[in-house]
Structure 1
Amino acid sequence: MKLSPVIVFFLFSQFLSAQIQDKVDFLRADILIEPTPVHKQIKGSVSYHFNVLEDVDSVFFDAVSMDFFNVSFDGVKIDFDYNGKRIMIKNEMKEGEDHIVSMDYVVKPEQTVYFLGWDDAVDGNEQVWTQGQGKYTSHWLPSFDDMTEKVEFDLKIILREDYTVIANGNLLKKETLPNSNGYMWQFDMEKPMSSYLIGFAIGNYKMETMESSSGIPMELYYEPKDSLNVEPTYRYSKRIFDFLENRIGVAYPWQNYKQVPVHDFLYAGMENTTCTIFSNQYVVDSTAFVDKNYVNVNAHELAHQWFGNLVTETSSEHHWLHEGFATFYAYLAEKHIFGDDHYYWKLLGTAEALKSFSEEDQGEALWNPNAGSLTFYEKGAWALVMLQERVGKMAFKKGVRKYLNKFAFKNVTIPNFIEEMEEESGTDLSDFEALWLENPDFPFEEVIMFLKDRNSSIRTYFELNKQIAQEPEGTEEILVRNWSTLSSIHLKENLILDYGEAMPTQLLSEIIASEDIKARQAVVLSLNKIPPELRVSIENLLRDKSYTTIEAALYRLWTDFPEYRTKYLDETDGIKGFPNKNIRILWLTLALVTPEYRPDTKASYFNELSELTGAEHHFETRMMAFQYLKNIGGFNDMVLKNLIEACGHHVWHFKKSARSLLKEFLQSDENTARIKRIYPLLSQQEKQYLEKTIGE
């Protein structure tokens, strides 16, 4: 194929750019930023210190949609080229020289930095936080989208409001600003990292501290309103830290470790170096801890401080080295805390998900740079489980330790890791690579054999399933005959979920009265309809120590026994549930559609449910409220306005769901007319989206 001159020039420019960056070594970045939250703006300056490795005439930085008003080279103002995505500074530089490039800029980040709560009437919920994974830090800081460029980033943040600021590294200074209520916060890193790992959070926070057994300071942040939830939220944090240091075999490589919950975070958590940011939906009380806790995310993000931050992939085809490893070590931490049974049953659950994925022809190889989360996280963890099984626990640990020490503060590829494991174990791993890294299918039979061999309760589970499959008419008798011999709570829970409808009510009643909380929960989750003989037993679950159980019991009882609806609503009034208010939202909906229940307070219940769709609430809360209101025909003008606002939300799956709801609502001309009536209340951005959606 003959290339056009334009394409030839483009390819040459790309090649030249790559070579330019290889000829310099960026060592340190001194950063000063001043966020103006009400304007969603950052004013910043950054000075990069670098050494010239070979003669070169220019350097560049990734920088998206910024206004540069001063750029200097070794203190002398200099011209620059900027195309809206990358700034290039041209100057003759000789091998061995040290230079400093400084840039002053202003930016309104289109992504990566999120300013929440500054434009609502709620006091104390104001936050600013970052999410830089991938190639996004360049939206607020001239930096490097290339993960192989590692720099020591030292950050100063000026904030003229009195909020807490948390960022990478040690807090060296907190200086009072003149003529304001704010401070200048100065943070110091000691080692280099990739740009995507720079992070900061600003908000109304308090902090508890602890120290690992190795002496690493740990800072646990929380909002003042959540003071009673600090212990269950951060439960086992020190045990997790100590376990990972010991199991990985390499000392924690950074100065300290901080954890910060934020509102409407895009993911479960993000492993910014020394400063994990995570979703405040994991800030839970002890009842919520049973069903949704921070333990796995806590361990996963901490493991990234080694796998991803200390050693970093060169490119996305090596992403297994980040997510697979963090998932694997998080599972080991859970095993350490909750026991072997918990660990192996969790692996069984992920194996079954991967089997379904593979059978639907959606299986992906771990080498695939475009693979999804299920592959990189769960299949990636399984690959390490089976690799450890293949080479032995001691050889595996030694190989990991050598790998981390050899490539500390550098970049790695999958072959780098495999080479270390082969050398340490004396084993040729080419067949392992073919089966686990290159094969898009999931080797389900192999992992099931492994699980049966390692865990007796899983072995029993498959034996009972086989018996039931051979004698389906004897399901009840098989379960009753064997039940008293079973000791594993996980086994019982899964059998109830699978066969609860076939179990005699007497056995189910006994389970509710005497078994573990998860077994009781499994009973109510397994029943499509509650038998009258079980009504009283299920009613007891309205007071159980599980919000999932209470929610399921309330809905099932309200549906199956309408004559007792007032009783059930009275008993559960005031229960919020998880941080997303799952029980309260269900309760409000049921109260509204129960005609005889407190008719004089229907209006206040409807207002409360409608207000939960507002932007000040978490997107999980909002989505549930939207769905319930849709089901009962409760879309008033306020709810519709909130729904339109949600169509531009920064969390893509919430935005997608909101847009789908709006599209469905607009199917009728009457509803389209209703939307048009609230048009004057919308922002310009919302109007533009609506015009595009309606087609006008």
Structure 2
Amino acid sequence: MFLLRLCLLTGIFMVAYACKTPKSATDASDIPGISKGAAEVSQAVDQSILRLQKEKEIKSYQPSARRDFDILHTDLDLEFDWKNQSVLGKARIQAKPHFSPEKILVLDAKDFELGAISLVAADSIQKLSYRYDEKQISVFLPREFTSKDTFEIEINYKAFPERNSGRGSDAITDTKGLYFIDPLDTIPSKPTMIWTQGETEHNSKWFPTIDKPNERFTHSIRLTVPDSMVSVSNGKLVKQENLGNGSRKDYWEMNLPHAPYLVAIAIGDFGKVEATHGDVPLGYYVEKGFEKGASKVFENTPKMMSFFEKKLGVPFPWQKYDQIVVRDFVSGAMENTTASIFMEELRLDEREALDSEWDYIIAHELFHQWFGDLVTTESWANLTLNEAFANYSEYLWNEHYYSSDQAALKLVAEMEGYFAESEEKKVNLIRFDYNDSEDMFDAHSYNKGGVVLHMLRKYLGDEVFFRSLHEYLKKHAFQSVEVHDLRQAFERVSGEDLNWFFNQWFLSKGHPEIAIEIDYSEPENILITINQLQDLTDYPLFQFPIEISWYEGKDRRTKQFIVKEGQQSFAIENGTPVDLVYVDEGKNLLARRTQNLSNSQFLKQFKESQLGVARYEALDSLASREAKEELSEVLPLALKDPFWSIRETALGYLQSDPEWKEKIQGIEELVYDLVENDPKNSVRSAAIDLLGQWASDKYFLTFKRLTNNPSYLIAGSALMAMIQAEEVSVDSDLINSLASSRNFRIVIPVAEYYLKQHVSGKGGWFNENLTHLTGEGLYYFLGYYSEYFVRLPAEGKTQAITNLMAILQNNSKDYLRMGAFQALLGFAEDPETIKLLEKAAEKENSTELRNYFNYFLEMLKE
């Protein structure tokens, strides 16, 4: 599962640290003025409180699911009532008791209408009694079966996933399990389709099963679908049968066992792009017309598979691998075995795909095919055993295919995501006291988990780390695991007891809060002191390796030390005098740190560090401090930096202050050179944005030429820069020739032009784009949409409010509901609109969004 989140990566190194002073336990009898009797009473009270806390922990403990039965194979025959959005199914389940003799089989089945349930034998069918509470079926078997017995039951049912809509988590925003998208084909711009999303335990909303992650079975699925549509499921398509009534039955066979939440189907009018990795067939499914874009978006899949296989020493374990792009998906993506499903943002045409940067999410779901699908967490408490590896695969692929600098900055972004969450929430990575399994899908399980794996790799070295992963996968293939299985794999390979590492990082909460002091009084033997400041009554005293580095000319020197104490000092014995050393220069340690560095030290860091992430830190720190003198020296260097993110970031800083154009001699020429020649389209786009701000009239013809660039990033920025011109007017014919574009990078500048020029008669154009745009593009467009109808209400203000309310009330994505709310605030002078917003706030499922809505509504009342 990919955790979809909107992140703004700015100021990631300059963080205010709220550090607590370590506390020491003091016996009450030692406190002056307290008698021994009072101390005994105090201790008794403390023990009573501790007992109550332990009782609470025991009551909230979420164990791995008890295994009374093993499902061996499930056979499903499914039809779909598109009008009523229900599933008509027949399930045959082959099972046996796990160990003890059993007579009652309990299956998860949420909001079903049940027909006959029968025991099926080779020569007979015996109807069975059952009890059903709308969530589980208790099937009464005719006799007691032992673990040596295998039996098969048949269940006829009708499932109503629409009854199960509800708030999930930040990762999974809805919980129906199976989704009908525009089932009656009534929305002009939206295709009709069905897709599923089973994690955590939502597949039992469309077929009966034991819906727990430590269950595992093979299955066959027969899907009756319109003959105009394509179906995709786990495993292989073994047969298609034309039913002669406009329908077809597709037979899918999954002959390798996997967990229930990984079962999936997708049905729609898909086009398919075919590829291969060795003998493994690959399919990229997307709406028809987007096949060329899909070829580009997913083109690195075979390379990723080869890379991961080589790193892990384990071949891709499944029969095939399909990647399906659907509409209105309730997450970023989901790693269903052999059939990952992705959000619609990956639906790009051939030109849009030129700027595709979706490798990270593609790598994430692909790595899950090993970590999560082949080897599966036995309980949601151990979720990080799935998600930490998937998150870390993004680092591995960046490091391998792009650059170590890009991988390092990605890791820092992951840390910052975790640190942001840890301000309000500090929990163990492995935790059994969650209220709901959806609570496990957070920046701890994903972000922190991935960084912890990175630290383990850095500590043990690549050879031990990847050989241990090989050992873990081979030993536990097609099994469920807990954290100790992972630890023992690393211990078997490394020969080292790693309880200390797993106890503090997986089984305890928090992270080191460190203060760094460097004594330069002896330049040939610099002394470094590390103080751990975290509250030791709540968090561990951490043990961790830390790298110290410095430069002697162009040579980078390093030493590694192990921090084990609350305060610890190291003399690095450098020999050659140096005036600046770096503590964890590569940002490999998950720790909040404080260190007093001067502007001149950050300037030197930018100039001499060979690590892009450290140069980024220096640039970001100087900009945050508004160190004008140092920035005047750094920014021209940053525009020529080999790491594209530093060039792009420097352009953003230059844009924040128009005075830089005059302060730094030759800076405009450097920016123009990036416009014309930078190899990274996003850098060229940012450079165009800057020149558009500085001198839109001067470069008008350059911008006009670049509106024909194949990259939408470049063309869109060039068009917006033209519109900013004061002395030169944009030709309306150019706008008209671009107005039919459906890419938001062109749509937004066109909308800006219509607003700036007060062009009437474009209400239909705005409504059309509101319908066609999705995801990020729709979010950015909503403000322009609102402003147009506020300025020109005769163009259809009432309908515009209705359209925005539909997004606010019905869209599955939090950030789009937030965008619609913000857009509707433009109509705040209308009392009826305020009433509608208040009703929407009451019905909002997300607590965060509801609070956000109510905050602004209260402000309006004032």
TM-score (norm 2): 0.69
Q: 1:307 deviation in Å?
A: 0.8
Post-superposition CA distance 1:497-536 (Å, at most 9, x none): 3455435333323332333333323335568942468644
Larger Rg: 2
Q: 1:672 deviation in Å?
A: 4.6
Work out whether 1:109 is the aligned partner of 2:168.
Answer: no
Work out whether 1:272 is the aligned partner of 2:336.
Answer: yes
Instruction: Give the aligned partner of residue 611 of structure 1.
Output: 768
Q: 1:630 aligns with which of 783, 786, 809?
A: 786
Q: 2:217 aligns with which of 130, 142, 151?
A: 151
Structure 1's 668 and 261: CA in aligned 2 closer, same or farther, altered over 3 A?
Answer: same
Post-superposition CA distance 1:67-104 (Å, at most 9, x none): 00111123211221111111111123231222112111
Residue 391 of structure 1 aligns to which amino acid in structure 2? Answer: L
Q: CA RMSD in A?
A: 3.7
Secondary structure of the structure 2 residue equivalent to 1:432: helix
Instruction: State the alpha-carbon separation in 2 of the partners of residues 88 and 264 from structure 1.
Output: 35
Instruction: Give the aligned partner of residue 683 of structure 1.
Output: none
Residue 592 of structure 1 aligns to which amino acid in structure 2? Answer: Y
Instruction: State the alpha-carbon separation in 2 of the partners of residues 240 and 540 from structure 1.
Output: 37
2:203–2:260 CA contact under 8 A, matched in 1:
yes
Secondary structure of the structure 2 residue equivalent to 1:80: strand
Instruction: State the alpha-carbon separation in 2 of the partners of residues 380 and 174 from structure 1.
Output: 43
Work out whether 1:429 is the aligned partner of 2:498.
Answer: yes
Taking the TM superposition and a 5 Å limit, the aligned residue runs for 1:582-621 are: 582-595=744-757, 599=759, 602-603=760-761, 605-614=762-771, 618=774, 620=776
Work out whether 1:200 is the aligned partner of 2:265.
Answer: yes
Q: 1:590 deviation in Å?
A: 2.1
Work out whether 1:343 is the aligned partner of 2:393.
Answer: no
Post-superposition CA distance 1:619-641 (Å, at most 9, x none): 55554444322223166343333
Instruction: Give the aligned partner of residue 686 of structure 2.
Output: 522
Taking the TM superposition and a 5 Å limit, the aligned residue runs for 1:481-560 are: 482=637, 486-499=641-654, 501=657, 502=660, 504-516=667-679, 517-524=681-688, 529-531=693-695, 535-536=699-700, 542-555=707-720, 557-559=722-724
Q: 1:205 deviation in Å?
A: 1.7
Instruction: State the alpha-carbon separation in 2 of the partners of residues 366 and 168 from structure 1.
Output: 30
Work out whether 1:26 is the aligned partner of 2:71.
Answer: yes
Residue 98 of structure 1 aligns to which amino acid in structure 2? Answer: T
Q: 1:66 deviation in Å?
A: 0.8
Between 630-639 and 450-459, report the one with greater CA deviation.
450-459
Identity rate, percent: 21
Work out whether 1:366 is the aligned partner of 2:442.
Answer: no
Residue 27 of structure 1 aligns to which amino acid in structure 2? Answer: L
2:76–2:222 CA contact under 8 A, matched in 1:
yes
1:23–1:54 CA contact under 8 A, matched in 2:
yes
Structure ranking higher in helix proportion: 1
Instruction: Give the aligned partner of residue 44 of structure 1.
Output: 89
Q: 1:208 deviation in Å?
A: 2.6
Instruction: Give the aligned partner of residue 81 of structure 1.
Output: 131
Q: 1:570 deviation in Å?
A: 2.3
Work out whether 1:190 is the aligned partner of 2:255.
Answer: yes
Taking the TM superposition and a 5 Å limit, the aligned residue runs for 1:80-479 are: 80-91=130-141, 92-95=143-146, 96-110=148-162, 111-117=176-182, 118-120=184-186, 122=188, 125-178=191-244, 180-213=245-278, 215-285=279-349, 287-289=351-353, 291-358=355-422, 360-362=423-425, 364-368=427-431, 370=439, 372-437=441-506, 438-441=508-511, 449=584, 451=586, 456-462=611-617, 472-479=627-634
Between 110-119 and 428-437, report the one with greater CA deviation.
428-437
Work out whether 1:72 is the aligned partner of 2:118.
Answer: yes
2:73–2:95 CA contact under 8 A, matched in 1:
yes
Q: 1:166 deviation in Å?
A: 0.7
Between 131-140 and 481-490, report the one with greater CA deviation.
481-490
Post-superposition CA distance 1:631-677 (Å, at most 9, x none): 2316634333333433443614157427735874785554359979x
Residue 300 of structure 1 aligns to which amino acid in structure 2? Answer: H
Residue 373 of structure 2 aligns to which amino acid in structure 1? Answer: N
Structure 1's 491 and 534: CA in aligned 2 closer, same or farther, altered over 3 A?
Answer: farther
User: Which structure is higher in RCO with an 8 Å CA cutoff and minimum separation 6?
Assistant: 2
Instruction: State the alpha-carbon separation in 2 of the partners of residues 646 and 471 from structure 1.
Output: 40
Work out whether 1:566 is the aligned partner of 2:730.
Answer: yes
Structure 1's 419 and 519: CA in aligned 2 closer, same or farther, altered over 3 A?
Answer: same
Instruction: Give the aligned partner of residue 8 of structure 1.
Output: none
Residue 159 of structure 2 aligns to which amino acid in structure 1? Answer: V
Q: 1:639 aligns with which of 779, 800, 816?
A: 800
Instruction: State the alpha-carbon separation in 2 of the partners of residues 375 and 16 from structure 1.
Output: 20
Secondary structure of the structure 2 residue equivalent to 1:427: coil
Instruction: State the alpha-carbon separation in 1 of the partners of residues 333 and 201 from structure 2.
Output: 17
Instruction: State the alpha-carbon separation in 2 of the partners of residues 30 and 455 from structure 1.
Output: 58
Secondary structure of the structure 1 residue equivalent to 2:255: coil
Instruction: State the alpha-carbon separation in 2 of the partners of residues 526 and 356 from structure 1.
Output: 30
Q: 1:62 aligns with which of 108, 114, 118?
A: 108
Instruction: State the alpha-carbon separation in 2 of the partners of residues 286 and 341 from structure 1.
Output: 29
Residue 547 of structure 1 aligns to which amino acid in structure 2? Answer: Y
Structure 1's 572 and 353: CA in aligned 2 closer, same or farther, altered over 3 A?
Answer: farther
TM-score (norm 1): 0.84
- In structure 1, the gaps of 5 or more residues are 2-10, 677-692
Instruction: State the alpha-carbon separation in 2 of the partners of residues 248 and 512 from structure 1.
Output: 41
Post-superposition CA distance 1:188-230 (Å, at most 9, x none): 11122111111111111222322213x1111222322113323
Instruction: State the alpha-carbon separation in 2 of the partners of residues 309 and 207 from structure 1.
Output: 24
Structure 1's 402 and 119: CA in aligned 2 closer, same or farther, altered over 3 A?
Answer: same
Structure 1's 25 and 531: CA in aligned 2 closer, same or farther, altered over 3 A?
Answer: same
Residue 422 of structure 1 aligns to which amino acid in structure 2? Answer: E
Structure 1's 476 and 539: CA in aligned 2 closer, same or farther, altered over 3 A?
Answer: farther
Query: Matched residue pairs, number?
Result: 654
Q: 1:587 deviation in Å?
A: 3.6
Post-superposition CA distance 1:520-561 (Å, at most 9, x none): 2333556894246864466665455543444445445534x3
Q: 1:25 deviation in Å?
A: 1.6
Instruction: Give the aligned partner of residue 7 of structure 1.
Output: none
Structure 1's 367 and 54: CA in aligned 2 closer, same or farther, altered over 3 A?
Answer: closer
Residue 642 of structure 1 aligns to which amino acid in structure 2? Answer: N
Structure 1's 538 and 122: CA in aligned 2 closer, same or farther, altered over 3 A?
Answer: closer
Instruction: State the alpha-carbon separation in 2 of the partners of residues 128 and 218 from structure 1.
Output: 21
Structure 1's 159 and 148: CA in aligned 2 closer, same or farther, altered over 3 A?
Answer: same
Instruction: Give the aligned partner of residue 29 of structure 2.
Output: none
Taking the TM superposition and a 5 Å limit, the aligned residue runs for 1:645-684 are: 645-649=806-810, 651-653=812-814, 656-657=817-818, 660-661=821-822, 664=825, 668=829, 670-672=831-833
Instruction: Give the aligned partner of residue 51 of structure 2.
Output: none
Instruction: State the alpha-carbon separation in 2 of the partners of residues 275 and 610 from structure 1.
Output: 35
Residue 481 of structure 2 aligns to which amino acid in structure 1? Answer: V
